[in-house]
Every structure is written in structure tokens, then in C-alpha cells.
Amino acid sequence: MSVVDPALERPSAVLELVLQAFQAQRVLRRADGRSFEERLADALETLCVPPTLAGFWARLDPGEHHATILATSGTAKAYCADLELSDDPTSLSGQGPAGTTLRSLSPVVATVDDAIFAPWRERARPFGIEGSLSAAAACDDGTRYLLSLYRSDLARLPPETALVLDALAQAAAELHQEQRRARARELEAATDRLVAWLRSTTDQPPESTILELARHLAELPGVGAVDALATSDGERRFERLATYGTMRSVVGLLPEPRTDGTQLTIPDLARDARRCYVVRRPASHLELPDHWRAEPRLRQVPLAVAIPLVLADEVRAVLVALVEPGAPDPERIAALLEQIGRTATEALETAAGFAERVALAALFDALATGSDRLLACRTETELADVTTKSLVDTGVFDLAALVAGSTTLGLSRSSERDLAAPCRTALSRLCERVRREGHSGQVRLSPRPVRWAEARAGAEDWLFATPVPDATDLVLCARAVRSPVSGNRELLLLERVAASLAAQRARIRLEATLRAERDAQRTVALRDALTGLPNRRAFLEEAEARCRRVEEDGVGLALGILDLDGFKEWNDVYRHSEGDRILAEVGASLAALPPELYVARLGGDEFGLLARLDSMDLGTLSQAVHAAAAVPTPGGPLSASLGWALWGPVGVDVETLLAHADEAMYHAKSQGGGRTRIFEDEMARLADRRHRLRTKLASAIGTDQVRFWYQPQVDLVAGRLAGVELLARWYDGAEVVPADAFMDVVERDAYLARRLDLDALEHACTLLAERPSLPAVAVNIAARHLLTPTFAADVARVIRTASTERLVLEITEAHSLGDDLASAVSRLEAIRALGARIAIDDFGRGWASMAYVHSLPIDQLKVDRSLVASLATDPRSFASSLSALALGSYAGVEVVGEGIETTEDLAMWRAIGGRFVQGYGLGRPQPTVPTRLRSGARALLASIAPFPLDDLPLLASLVAARAGRPLAHQRDERCPIASWLRQREGRYGDLASFEELAEVHEHQCGRADEPVGLKELLERLVAAITAERTNPARRSGARRERGGRHTPAASGLASGRSSSDDAR
């Protein structure tokens, strides 16, 4: 009979043990970052505080018969060292109190003398175990947790503790279920992220996606390792690419699948089934390699999932994922892995198709829209090389050629494979057949072995060929890296490329006639269109070069700035057209000075001079410069102020030298003009004056003293406002100070420029919010402000809430971007990304050059008025305007003509294709926001129209005739009018003025003098064509028109006068 411990019979001792059990429950449930096993161990230690108590935790997984010891305490540590427990009643490990509890899930209280303890009695007594209490609980997934307590100083534990111990086992089961649900949520979230990633990987090659997928799978909760294996349906073997996960060292123990071709492996099962294959308890499958049973860690793997990845109907790879031993809910993990496998196959197909479509679209865009590479081609041979290389660069083809008869014009291929003799023969025969039959063809070569890095569907070579349109002997052919997997897309691509090639050949032939004009455009970027002199950019480049030579030879250099006195006021009185004429005469006079003197127009009425001091006397040279500038004008001869700055062997930089010359020039001007001054230290007084003006401006900017006026910009095609430009006006007391009186101080000072620019931007943003119907608002941005490091942040802060798509930032030309061009590009791109548009202001004058168009991210080109003024009467302005429009068209940017003041200039600008204008002709700056065009302006716009490109010779002849320049009168094809008459007879032959012009040209062309009445006939013919284009219904009335009559609607272009009185 068992002896009961008197101490435990006392209620206080039983209560103490119960309280200790409740404390263990709290320890078990406390969430403090510990793992589940650590919580079980801590709870057991809390429960077994008395030295006579010991115990252990065990877990029996679903489908298993042998339990796992999770935690031990006291003497149970040694007792459980090699203890085996199971729920199998036929085995020793399934007998006794613990095995019975695992099966029945009911608490069992026993002593070593009881019959139930008999199988374990001899094992328990050496450890001092006299009795036990076991309790177990089951989870929803079938997992069972067992808690056993042992006493070493009495025979039986109090039965009252069974319920408490059972509650503790139930707590462990509930905690297991909570953690299982949390792990399931974590696993599903990770799976969702992985699926989303797969669906977004449309721009990666399949090989990269497969390896990245394997790495992500290994990071999923419960996945111990992932083995990435490459394969091919054509080759019954695998190649191990990579292994990931915490168990990757275990995977390395497995042999590479099918290395000997005799034993079946898990990847084989998935490849043959072409679907996800789940193997439960791989170690129990005797047909699998013995390594699964020999390695203890492999024996514990509960489940392996093999995921075949199919691309183009071929198994490209197999990913084998091993579930960690003890991972909760392995079946759920397997299901999610199967879902990921299906998504991965879809993603690979999508990525492959997307990558191919991107490659085809990129190539087609490059050939069809005229990318930089193709536009740079100037010969058909160069075009052939670029086209074939572009085909190879897509990756769709590894060889491409353009063949003319037996001659190969262009050949490109990848470095991987040469063009073998059989392939050359087959390609030659295919090209001959295509040339003979006149339609595309293809032929398949024999299969070839393929490595994983080159794997393609079918592993075959295909040859394709197509004739080039409009070229009877040209054939474009190529070899595909793989066989087609979706129809004839390679052949379709080749046909599209051949069509683009034909278009590019036509473009190259046209470019032969346009190349001279394009070179002239590049020259224009470094020349001043009005005077023909070098512009500011060219001047600075020359100054830099001469300064370097001075440092080498030690001879001094003089840099001068010449500014016409009072020219701005004179220009306002006598109109800008007269001012342009005077500037051109001054430029011609300065250019006639000794060639050792380098002369450039810096902008406005300012000219730059460079002279070596060893070859010229500065005093004599200054007198010659003043004499050259004193050209006669209606108001008397002009005078000029000249400032010199001297550069010695040890000098300053060009910018400083230029500033010194500017100081000297302003000093000469302040003394009444018409003088020459050399920079000296005392000229700091001039700087002081500007400093005072700067101080006054600094306090005025941001207040009501500096306001903004509005000048309209007009869209000639839509016949409406295209927007307004903000122009600063300084209200100094009762006087309105014009911008040219203070902007030079602002543009010299980055601080003032920044403040004024930001003030204008804030005003523009307010205006955009208040006037949602206003198409656009343009704001001038000084180049000095653009070059400040805070420019992008400043602008972004101001415009962050504005309607930026209607905001235009015009970069003014008062300061060269110089070596900071790269910084300017990055800052403008940042602003452009916010939605604002970028424009170059005053292009063709000052610092503007072709380099800016090429480098800056611009949307609009505002052509300086010096290029477009008098374009209806000056052939040089006509040519400059036409070149600027062509440049804008090639660059894909809008072109705005600035300073268009007369009706004839406006009509001619529209005739040669100009769309946007800004100038006094359609609107002066005003203090209120314009909302619509004046009625007279609308009538004027209705009377002008664009001319076809083929009619440019007619317009050029009219401008030359207006300028009084003699026209070419040869009877042969060298005469532009004769050529135009022949080409356009079918279009305008029924116009009376056309017939009259043809008759006059026929009878009088070839004489030394100008044909009588030629200018008038040109005016009438242009008027008739304009009338037809503005109102086709009038054409019948305009036909057979004799006696000099023409429609009033066409008078704007023909006579330069609008039918409306308020056109100005």
C-alpha cells in the first residue's frame, strides 16, 4: 500500500503547489520575445521549485507516433536523456503513464509500485522517482503536448493537482495554436508579398527571376532550404545553380539529380509531372537516394515540394523546397508553395513576353521615330551598320545583314557564334529567293546543343529575310537565337524594321540637301544673326583661348566692352527695326577694323573686343573703335562708351576680366559717354553706386513697389491666347521704372535674382489658381539663380501646390551657364519632374547656343527678336527664322517668335510654319491679365495661313524681292523660281497670277536686269495662295484673276498690312 506524504496532505502544501502551477501558467502566457520552447522551459522551472519535483514537456506531431522532448528540469534531465515516448500501446515507449496520457489525453496519477508504472519501474528507481502525474492536451491540428511531473520523496502526488496540471497542458496547446495562427498569417503575408513581387518582375530575364525566386522562397517561414536546379526537356539531366536557406548545407549532401541516370529524384518527379510535386516524409520513400535515410537531419524533413518552372512550354528549372523539421502545419506550407509555383510560371511567361515586346518596341521606336543614332547616319552604308547592330542588340537575333545582290552593305553579329558555312549558304539562298519572289521568307536549320545560359525553346537556328520597300535589290536578313514560340513575330519585326529602313534611306537622301542648312544652324548658334559677328559664347571661348596664349608667351591682352550711348531710348523712339539696322551697321564697321582685333556682339547694343598689346596701340585702337561706332542715324551720329581691362602674364580669370571691362565701360558712360576708360582701382565708386541701387532694390522686391505686368503669347493655329509672360516693373514712388533700368543689377546679383524669381513664381502660382482658364504663365528665371545650389528646392517649395503643367520657366541669357551646364541640367530635370515646362529665352542672342538646345531638358525655344524681326523683308532674318523653326522641329520643342511687331512679319512667320508668337504686334505688356485677343487681332489671324514646304522657294523669292536684292534669272534648273513654277504648275497653274508670273519669267528671265514687275507678281501670287488657304471657297473667285486684283484676306502676307486698324 502506498504511503502518502503527510506534508502534502496538509491543505497549505497542496495550495502552495497549486499556486505554483498558476504562476507557471502566467510565465507560459507572458509574451516577451521568448520562443515557444523557452516559455515551456521557464514555466517548468517555475513549477518545479521544490527540489523534490522534476518534470518534462513533450510534443507529439500530427501523423507521428514518437514524441519529442521539448524541456526538462531537475532529475528529469538525466532521466529523459535517451527517453523515447510514443502513443503506440504495442511498444515499450508507448506504455506507462506518459504513453497512456498521450493516447487518452486524461491525467494519470501513479506511483512506481502501480501496475501502470511496471514497464518503467527499473528505469525510474535509480533516479529517485517514486511517483508521477501526467497531463496532455491536443491542438486543432492534431499536435499533442504532454507535461509529466515526478516526486522523489513520496509515493504519490496529490490528486488535487491533476486539474491544475491539465490546465497548464491546455495552456501550452492554446499557445501552440496562437503561434500556429500567427505563423500562418506571417506565412500568408510573406506569400502574398512574394506573389506580388513575381507579378511585378516583368523587366528581368528569366534566369535572374528564377534565382531571385529561390532566394525568396528560402526566406519563407517554415522553409528550411531551396535547391535551384536548371534543366531542359531536351537534356535529361539537372545542373545545380544555387542553394539557399538555413539547411543549405544539408541539401549539399544530396547528389546532383540524375548524375548517373539510374536513380529517381524528387526534381525528376516534378519535371515528368510538369506540376508541383509534394513528397511527404522523403526518408520513407525507398526509391529516393539513400542519402535521405543516412543523414539524421534529412530524416527529420517532414515534407519536400518540387516546383517546376515552365517557360515556352518547356521545363526550364525545378526548385525543391524542404520544410523545416517541426515547422507548424507543413501541409499549409506545401499548398502555398504550389500557389507560388503557379504564379511563378505565369510571371516567367509574362516577363519573357514583356522583355521581348520591350526589345522589339525599343528597336522599332529607334528606327521609326529617328533616334539620335539613326538621325546621325549620313550615308546608306552607315545606316545599314546601325540598323543591323540594333537588330542584334535586341537579343531577338544574333546575326543581321543588309544585302544588295551579292554585296553585303551591313553585317552585325554577337560575339558568341560565328557565321558557319552551312548557315552562310542557307542565308544566301533564302535572300535570293526573297529577292526573286518579292515577299518575306524563313527557313529552319538543324538543332544545336544549348547550355543553360543560352537556353531557348526548341534550341534551333531560324533564318529570316524580307525585301526592303522601294529598293528592288535590297534584302534585310537575320538569324534568330531561338525558334519562334508564338507565331512569326521575328519575321513581323524584320518586316517592320525593313519599312523603317526604307523611310530612313529616304530621309538620308533628303538630308543631303539639308546638311548645309544644318551646318548653318550650328554656325548661327555661335554667331549673332543681326550683325553676323560672333556672339557672347564665341567671345568667351576666344577670350579663354587668348588668355592661355598670353600665359605662354607673356604678351599682354586687352579685353574691351563697347556700349552704344542712349541706344535703348533711341531704339524706343525710332522703332526696333531701325535700331536693328543701326546695330548691323555698327557691327559691319567694327568688323572692318584690323583683323588682329577680335569683335563680337555680346547682346543688345554691347560689343566685345580682344586685342594683343604687342601689335596695337590701345589709344589709336580706341579712336578707331569710336569712329567705327559713330554711324549716322536720323538723330545724328551715335556715340559709344568703351571700357578696357588689361590682362598680363599673371592675370585673373576671364569672368573677372569681363567684369573689370564692364566697370570701366560704365565709368565712361557715367562721364557722359563717348569716352574710353581703362579699368582702375578708383572705379570702385561705380560699384558703390550699383551697390546703393542694389540695396534699394533689395528692399523693394517682395513689396508693392515691384509689380508684374503681363504680355500675351498667342497660338496662331488655335487663334487664341497661349499664355502670358510676367514682366517686372519697379514703382519707385510715382515713377514706373522699366525693367531695363534695373534688371542688369538684378541679373548681376544671384541674391536679387533669386528673390525676384521666387516672387514672380509665387505671383504666377496665385494667378494660375485664380485663373484656371489661363493656358499658361511664363516666368523669367535668371541664370545666376539657376546655378545656385538651392534652386531646385526653392522652386519646388513655391510651386508644390500649383497647377505646374501650365507653368513655364524661361531661362534668361544674362549669364552663361559655362562649366555648370551639368548642374543646370540636373536642377532643371528636377523641376521638370514636378510638371513645369522649361524654355530658353532670347535664343540666338547673348549666351544662348546650340549646346543649350542639345543639353538642357527644354520644352520651348523662344527665338530672340533679332532673329525674327523684319523676316518678311530681310532674307537673313527669313533664313534665321526658318532655321530656328527647323531646329525646334528636329529637337521636338515648341518655338516662340519674340518681338514680332508688324503685320507682314506675323504673316510670314505663320507662312513658314510658326505657331507661337509674342510681341507688340499682338499685344503689349499691360498691368491687367489679358483674357482674350482683341477683335482686330482675331481678324488678322484669320487672314494668314501656313504654306506647304514646297512653297518655301516662292516665299524666299518674295522676301528677297522686298529687300531689293536681285533674284537668279537663269533659264535652267538653277533658277529657284523656274524650278518652283515647274513643280507647282499642277497645284497653282489655274491661278491668273501664276500664269502671269510664268509668262514674265519665260520672256524676261536671263536678262541682266530684274524682270519688270516681278516683285508685284510675287506679291499677287502669294496673296492668291494665302486667300485660297484661309478660305478655299474663294479659290474659284481668285482663279483667272487678272489686272492685279487679290482678295483682302490675303493682304496681310502680300502687302504687310492688316485690314484691321488696331492690329498693332
Could you read off the pLDDT of 73-123 as tens digits, one per residue? 888 888 887 788 888 888 887 888 888 888 888 888 888 888 888 888 888
Lookup: cell for 145: 503536448
User: What's the fold here for domain 201-359?
Assistant: Beta-Lactamase (3.30.450)
Per-residue model confidence (pLDDT) at position 158:
64
Nearest to 270 by CA among 315, 336, 324: 315
CA distances from 762 to 371, 775, 800, 1003 (A): 38, 17, 11, 66
Per-residue model confidence (pLDDT) at position 362:
54
What is the C-alpha separation between 722 and 806, in angstroms, rounded? 10
The residues, ordered by sequence, that sit 6+ positions from 940 with a Cβ below 8 Å of its Cβ are 903, 906, 922, 1052, 1058, 1059, 1060, 1063
Highest mean pLDDT among 9-18, 815-824, 955-964: 955-964
Element containing residue 744 per DSSP (H, E): helix 743-748
Q: Identify whether the C-beta of residue 990 lies closer than 8 Å to the C-beta of residue 1039.
A: yes
Higher-pLDDT residue of 262 and 998 is 998
% of the chain beyond a pLDDT of 70: 81
Per-residue model confidence (pLDDT) at position 1062:
31
Q: Is the pLDDT reported for residue 3 higher than 50?
A: no
Lookup: cell for 795: 522652386
Nearest to 58 by CA among 79, 35, 84, 78: 84
Q: Identify whether the C-beta of residue 305 lies closer than 8 Å to the C-beta of residue 323.
A: yes
Q: Where are the alpha helices (DSSP H) in 806-902?
A: 821-833, 850-855, 865-868, 875-891
Per-residue model confidence (pLDDT) at position 339:
79
What is the C-alpha separation between 601 and 816, in angstroms, rounded? 14
Q: Identify whether the C-beta of residue 906 lies closer than 8 Å to the C-beta of residue 923.
A: no
What is the C-alpha separation between 204 and 1026, in angstroms, rounded? 56
Task: Output the CA angle 533-539-541, nearest 5 degrees.
Answer: 135
Strand partners, 206: none
Q: What is the pLDDT of residues 772-797, one digit of tens each?
A: 999 999 999 988 888 888 899 999 99
DSSP 23-56: HHHHHHH--SS--HHHHHHHHHHHHT-STTEEEE
Q: Identify whether the C-beta of residue 642 lies closer than 8 Å to the C-beta of residue 593.
A: no
| Average pLDDT of every residue of the chain | 79
What one-letter code names the amino acid at 791? Answer: F
What's the rounded mean pLDDT across residues 836-855?
Answer: 78
SS3 729: strand
Burial grade of 534 (CB within 10 A; 0-12, 13-18, 19 or more): buried
Chain-centre distance for alpha carbon 198: 23
Superfamily covering domain 6-183: GAF domain (3.30.450.40)
What is the C-alpha separation between 280 and 297, in angstroms, rounded? 15
Per-residue model confidence (pLDDT) at position 562:
95
Q: Identify whether the C-beta of residue 838 lies closer than 8 Å to the C-beta of residue 804.
A: no
Q: Identify whether the C-beta of residue 176 lies closer than 8 Å to the C-beta of residue 28.
A: no
What's the rounded mean pLDDT across residues 686-701?
Answer: 78
Residue 630 has φ and ψ, to the nearest 5°, of -85, 60
965: left (phi over 0), alpha (psi -120 to 50) or beta: beta
Nearest to 786 by CA among 758, 807, 766, 806: 758
Per-residue model confidence (pLDDT) at position 1047:
31
Per-residue model confidence (pLDDT) at position 392:
81
Nearest to 583 by CA among 602, 569, 604, 600: 604
Residue 310 has φ and ψ, to the nearest 5°, of -105, 130
What is the C-alpha separation between 220 and 214, in angstroms, rounded? 10
Q: Which of 212-226, 294-308, 679-693, 980-994 has the lowest mean pLDDT?
A: 679-693
* Predicted confidence band of residue 45 (pLDDT cuts 50, 70, 90): confident
* Predicted confidence band of residue 1038 (pLDDT cuts 50, 70, 90): very low
What is the C-alpha separation between 362 and 1020, in angstroms, rounded? 50
SS3 756: helix
Q: Is the pLDDT reported for residue 974 higher than 80?
A: no
User: What's the fold here for domain 369-508?
Assistant: Beta-Lactamase (3.30.450)
Strand partners, 469: none
Task: Output the CA angle 755-756-760, nearest 5 degrees.
Answer: 120
What is the C-alpha separation between 1011 and 1023, in angstroms, rounded? 20
The torsion defined by the Cα of 198, 204, 205 and 208, in degrees rounded to 10, comes to: -70
- The highest-level CATH class for domain 696-863+892-904 is alpha beta
Q: How many helices (H) and strands (E) does the chain have?
A: 38, 29
The residues, ordered by sequence, that sit 6+ positions from 760 with a Cβ below 8 Å of its Cβ are 708, 726, 728, 779, 780
Chain-centre distance for alpha carbon 706: 39
Q: Is the pLDDT reported for residue 207 higher than 80?
A: no
Higher-pLDDT residue of 630 and 220 is 630
What is the C-alpha separation between 282 and 153, in angstroms, rounded? 46
Dihedral sign (CA 169, 172, 174, 177)? negative
Per-residue model confidence (pLDDT) at position 642:
95
Lookup: cell for 261: 541516370
What is the C-alpha separation between 853 and 859, in angstroms, rounded? 10
Higher-pLDDT residue of 962 and 1052 is 962
Highest mean pLDDT among 18-32, 237-251, 597-611, 976-990: 597-611
Per-residue model confidence (pLDDT) at position 560:
95
Length of the chain: 1064
3-state SS record for 652-715: CCHHHHHHHHHHHHHHHHHCCCCCEEECCHHHHHHHHHHHHHHHHHHHHCCCCCEEEEEEEEEE
Per-residue model confidence (pLDDT) at position 831:
92
Q: Which of 305-319, 327-341, 435-449, 1032-1046 has the lowest mean pLDDT?
A: 1032-1046
Q: Identify whether the C-beta of residue 965 lies closer than 8 Å to the C-beta of residue 875.
A: yes
What's the rounded mean pLDDT across residues 568-594?
Answer: 82
For the chain, the first-to-last Cα distance in angstroms comes to 128
The residues, ordered by sequence, that sit 6+ positions from 511 with a Cβ below 8 Å of its Cβ are 378, 518
Locate the domains of the chain by residue range.
6-183, 201-359, 369-508, 526-679, 696-863+892-904, 949-1055
Residue 964 has φ and ψ, to the nearest 5°, of 75, 15
Say yes or no: do domains 369-508 and 696-863+892-904 share a fold: no
Q: What is the pLDDT of residues 408-423, one digit of tens each?
A: 888 888 765 666 666 7
Write b or e for each residue in 632-644: b if 16 or more Cβ atoms lie within 10 A of its Cβ, otherwise e.
Answer: ebeeeebbbbbbb
What's the rounded mean pLDDT across residues 288-305?
Answer: 78
Q: What is the pLDDT of residues 486-504, one digit of tens each?
A: 345 677 778 888 888 888 8
526-679 under CATH 3.40.50.300, yes or no:
no
DSSP 118-168: GGGHHHHGGGT--EEEEEEEE-TTS-EEEEEEEESSSS---TTHHHHHHHH
What is the C-alpha separation between 609 and 618, in angstroms, rounded? 12
DSSP 1017-1061: HHHHHHHHHHHHHH-GGGHHHHBT--TT---GGGHHHHHS--SST
SS3 389: helix
Higher-pLDDT residue of 939 and 724 is 724
